[in-house]
Each structure stands twice: as structure tokens, then as C-alpha cells.
């Protein structure tokens, strides 16, 4: 098995668990390649006894590893999307962050999960992405997102108007601080905090969620993901923010945004004991009531 490692910094309390992860990989005699900046971070903290390779970008691992292990929170997991891209490499998220909807493997379960992978006792859950298309090629080759696309006012003084179309059909002009177009994966992120619904992975839909709408009767709308969504923005300010997951650029009202389903999906590793319904129930503490 060829394993890639990607991650961010972590609290010192996780050092024994991350050490255990590398010890287990060495015991299994799996080949390891580590993201170069992360290896520099690990060197003074973790003892890596066997030789490892390093990588820096997508092309370095495409077709060369079987699994990518992401060490961090959901924000770190989102960063791996730019590394994996359309390679189909499955991702295992080890949670050293807080909530962990995507990075759902707890530190106490690392060895058990690695054993499950070695024994083939896991499944791949596919996650759809959205792609942004503009005339001037915003975000370049990184014009896709696993969670959401967001447009937001840049100045704090006044709201903006987002004219929204589904295909060629006019939907609404949102008077709001911004608008979120979320995938099923992103439905538990920014969209959820703005009142959007939770969608299960595999749902072939997007949710359009306004941010602080001026009209209180405006509600999130779920649309099929085979439709194209177009956004035109106007407001008192001249500049607005457009974000794909954690990446943002400044745009003006001359730019029309076209959002569609990306042509590739991301594979997420889940063991037999992991599933989305358990994750949301535990993470959101549903049922913590004496009556249950």
C-alpha cells in the first residue's frame, strides 16, 4: 500500500496518537510520502524510523499513491481537495480539530481504522463538488469546491442584491449580506449556520441559502445538481467577495458567476462503523435529553 500524508499543525496532546499512526504504517510496511511543508513540521515532533518520500503538488502523487491520510480538521480536509483533484485517490480524515464532519476518525481509533483499511473492511463514499465558470477564469485551475461557493458584500455598510437564475429561469433577487451555493457536503457548514437544511452525501442537489436576507420570508431553496445556477451581483459598493471553500477573490458587478456540478467527485474512506447519520447525531449532540 502506498500512502500519502497531508496535514497542518496540531496540539501537543495529539503527538502520541500521530506517533502511533506512523508506527502502525511502519509495522504494515506501507510506503509513505509526506507533504513537504508538513514533514518539516513533523520532524522535531514525531520519530519516523523508515524512509519516506515527499511531495508538493497534485502531479507529484497522481497515480502514485493508493490512499491520502489527512491529519487535521475539516479545513485541512478541504485543502486536500486541491491536492487530490480528479485523481480518484481516497481520503481518510484523522481529526485533530474540533467538529470533524469530514475528518471523522478520532485519535483513539487510528490503529483500528488502519487495520480495517489493510483488511479491506471499508467503503468509499463519493462526494460531489461544484465548479465556478467565469469569462475571466476566476481561481484558475482551482475553480471547484467541496463545500460551497459564497458571494458576500465586502463593505460592512450595506447589503447587496444577487440576481439568481436556475438555467434560464429567473429565481429571485436576494437582498442580503450574501448568498451560499452549497453541496450536500457543505450543507453542514456555512449554509447550516445560516439556516439551511442538512443533506445526506449522495443527494444530487444543491442548496441556495441567503446570508442575513432583508426579506424575512426568503428561505433556502434546494435545486437539482444537474441544473446550472447563474448569479449577477449589484450594490452600492463596487467590490464583492467570491469564495470557493476557504479561498476568496475580489470581484465587481461586471462578472457573472456560473455554477455547475464538477465533472469529478471525491472519494472519502469510511469504515464499517462510520456513517454520516452517526456523525451528525454525535457531532450535533442529537438525543442528549433525559427523555431519550
One of 12, 53, 66, 74 is an active-site residue; which one?
A: 74
Beta carbons of 31 and 1 less than 8 angstroms apart:
yes
Beta carbons of 17 and 110 less than 8 angstroms apart:
yes
The answer to whether residue 74 is catalytic is: yes
Give 208: exposed, middle or buried? Use CB within 10 Å, 0-12, 13-18, 19+. Answer: buried
- Transcribe the chain into DSSP letters: -EEEEEE----GGGHHHHHHHHHHHHHHT-EEEEEHHHHHHHTTT----S--EEE-SHHHHTTT-SEEEEEE-HHHHHHHHHHHTTS---EEEEE-SSS-SSS-B-GGGHHHHHHHHHTT-EEEEEEEEEEEE-TT-TTGGG-EESSEEEEEESSSSS-EEEEEEETTEEEEEEEESEEEEE-TGGGGTHHHHTTPPP--TT--EEEEEEES-SSTT---EEEETTS-EEEEEEESSS-EEEEETTEEEEE-TTPPEEEEEEEEEEEEEEETT--HHHHHHHHTTTT-STT-
Beta carbons of 134 and 256 less than 8 angstroms apart:
yes
So which residues are the catalytic ones?
Answer: 74
Amino acid at each position: 500500500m502506498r500512502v500519502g500524508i497531508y496535514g497542518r499543525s496540531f496540539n501537543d496532546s495529539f503527538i502520541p496518537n500521530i506517533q502511533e499512526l506512523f508506527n502502525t504504517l511502519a509495522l504494515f510496511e506501507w510506503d509513505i510520502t509526506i507533504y513537504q511543508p508538513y514533514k518539516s513540521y513533523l520532524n522535531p515532533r514525531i520519530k519516523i524510523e523508515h524512509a519516506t518520500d515527499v511531495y508538493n503538488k497534485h502531479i507529484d502523487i497522481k497515480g502514485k499513491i493508493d490512499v491520502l491520510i489527512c491529519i487535521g480538521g475539516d479545513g485541512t480536509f478541504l485543502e486536500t481537495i486541491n491536492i487530490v483533484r480528479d485523481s480518484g485517490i481516497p481520503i481518510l480524515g484523522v481529526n485533530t480539530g474540533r467538529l470533524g464532519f469530514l475528518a471523522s476518525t478520532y485519535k483513539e481509533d487510528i490503529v483500528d481504522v488502519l487495520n480495517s483499511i489493510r483488511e479491506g473492511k471499508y467503503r468509499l463514499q463519493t462526494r460531489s463538488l461544484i465548479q465556478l465558470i467565469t469569462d475571466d477564469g476566476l481561481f484558475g485551475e482551482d475553480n471547484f469546491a467541496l463545500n460551497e461557493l459564497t458571494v458576500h458584500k465586502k463593505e460592512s455598510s450595506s447589503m447587496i442584491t444577487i440576481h439568481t437564475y436556475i438555467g434560464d429561469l429567473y429565481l429571485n433577487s436576494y437582498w442580503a449580506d450574501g448568498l451560499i451555493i452549497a453541496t450536500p457536503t457543505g450543507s453542514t457548514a456555512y449554509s447550516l449556520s445560516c439556516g439551511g437544511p442538512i443533506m445526506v452525501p449522495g443527494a444530487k442537489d444543491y442548496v441556495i441559502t441567503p446570508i442575513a436576507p432583508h426579506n424575512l420570508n426568503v428561505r433556502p431553496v434546494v435545486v437539482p445538481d444537474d441544473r446550472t445556477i447563474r448569479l449577477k451581483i449589484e450594490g452600492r459598493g463596487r467590490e464583492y467577495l467570491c469564495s470557493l471553500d476557504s479561498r476568496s477573490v475580489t470581484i465587481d458587478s461586471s462578472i457573472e458567476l456560473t455554477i455547475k456540478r464538477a465533472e469529478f467527485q471525491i472519494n472519502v474512506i469510511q469504515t464499517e462503523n462510520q456513517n454520516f447519520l452517526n456523525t451528525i447525531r454525535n457531532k450535533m449532540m442529537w438525543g442528549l435529553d433525559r427523555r431519550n
